Amino acid sequence: MDSEEKATTKSNSTFVRPAIFYLSGFSNIPHVKYFYLFLCFVYIMTVLGNGFLLSLIWLVKTLHTPKYMIVFNMALADLCGSTALIPKLLDTFLFDRRYIVYEACLSYMFFVFFFGGVQSWMLVTMAYDRLIAICFPLRYHSIVTKTSIKSMLLFIWLVMLSLTTLVVGLVNRLSFCDSVVVKSFFCDHGPIYHLACNDPSLNIIMANVVVSIGVFIPLIFIACTYVCISIALSKIASGEERLKALKTCTSHLILVAILFLPFVGTNIAVWTSYIHPNARIINSTLTHTIPALINPIVYALKTEEVMSAVKKLWKINNISSPVTKW
């Protein structure tokens, strides 16, 4: 048997599952430790901001509405997604622990993808809420009920859980008989299946499905929603009323822009021109981390209900905790 036949036999009969992967992201970047410190700051502020928003919605009964059920789930996904990504990223690169056990790598991938997908669909649910509020204001409270929103939110969490489990589970069918160097800052799906020795066609198909369901379909839904909203607003005679209705959408539009535009922009740039790998990795890192930091700030500063709830909670605390006189 010649060497070619031996190689063919080996590739057909040998299935290699590596004990570890090596994450090669952030290589040869000058002063990169300042970027890690920045990410540490981002994570701390993300935890504080989203933790505060979650606590506020939980404690203040006036925020126990369908709209803020969606905001609560968004904040929860932001908090969990950042916790899944940033601490491990800092541990990997700040302390130079770039080797990661195979099973831990798949878990890492699962949680980053899962919470990222939930974040996208929370924005779709918010768009639906704005659509009904502006296009069908008289029927809003009969259509957007707690029961209907609970069902939508549960459906999103379950679908994303099932889809992410399938995508990550299919990595187990791949054989890694050559390199174990993952060219990314986390255990990303694409860089891992590109290392496979056997046919990754099914994984490529599922990667396209995930990107479609997690990015492009939500964007299409949101775009269609705002087309309908624009048509409804054009029928309002008063310019003041139009502006008032549009202001209720500004927070949501800011969140959509922060979450989707960097991702879409980076990928368009990658497809149409050359981007240095380090620039792409830093941009991707910011795309994964900054939205979760900005989201609670947008809702705290741009939404009157949240500001009113903060003032109400502050007054309650002052009343229940009087100053002790000595």
pLDDT band at 317, cuts 50/70/90? low
Report pTM: 0.87
| Residue whose structure tokens are 């939980």 | 58
Interacting residues of 69 by C-beta distance below 8 A, sequence separation 6+: 146, 149, 150, 153
CB-CB contact of 108 with 84 (8 Å): yes
Which of 112-121, 139-148, 203-212, 302-311 shows the lowest per-residue confidence on average (mean pLDDT)? 302-311
pLDDT tens, position by position, 275-301: 777 788 888 898 899 999 998 888 776
What does the mean pLDDT of the chain come to? 86
- 266 has pLDDT over 90: no
Per-residue 3-state assignment (H helix, E strand, C coil) for the chain: CCHHHHHHHHHHHCCCCCCEEEECCCCCCCCHHHHHHHHHHHHHHHHHHHHHHHHHHHHCHHHCCHHHHHHHHHHHHHHHHHHHHHHHHHHHHCCCCCEEEHHHHHHHHHHHHHHHHHHHHHHHHHHHHHHHHHHCHHHHHHHCCHHHHHHHHHHHHHHHHHHHHHHHHHHHHCCCCCCCEECCCCCCHHHHHCCCCCCCHHHHHHHHHHHHHHHHHHHHHHHHHHHHHHHHHHCCCCHHHHHHHHHCCHHHHHHHHHHHHHHHHHHHHHHHCCCCHHHHHHHHHHHHHHHHHHHHHHHHHHCHHHHHHHHHHHHHHHHHCCCCCC
Average pLDDT on 63-68 reads: 90
CB-based contacts of 70-73 (< 8 A; 24+ apart in sequence) = 70/122, 70/125, 70/126, 70/129, 70/149, 70/153, 71/126, 71/299, 73/118, 73/122, 73/153, 73/157
pLDDT band at 125, cuts 50/70/90? very high
- 1 has pLDDT over 60: no
Average pLDDT on 52-72 reads: 90
Closest CA to 48 of 313, 326, 292: 292
More confident residue, 243 or 323: 243
pLDDT tens, position by position, 137-194: 899 999 999 999 999 999 999 999 999 999 999 999 999 988 899 999 999 999 999 9
Closest CA to 160 of 80, 104, 90: 80
CA 154 from chain center: how many Å?
Answer: 17
User: Residue 213 has what pLDDT?
Assistant: 94
Query: Which amino acid, residue 175?
Result: S
pLDDT band at 322, cuts 50/70/90? low
pLDDT tens, position by position, 198-255: 989 999 999 999 999 999 999 999 999 999 998 988 887 677 777 877 787 888 888 8
pLDDT band at 263, cuts 50/70/90? confident
CB-CB contact of 78 with 137 (8 Å): no
More confident residue, 35 or 241: 35
- 319 has pLDDT over 70: no
Residue 21 bridge partners (DSSP): 100
- 310 has pLDDT over 60: yes
**β-pairing verdict for 181-182 and 20-23:** parallel
pLDDT over 70 for what percent of the chain? 91
**β-pairing verdict for 99-101 and 181-182:** unpaired
User: Residue 245 has what pLDDT?
Assistant: 79
User: Residue 102 has what pLDDT?
Assistant: 95
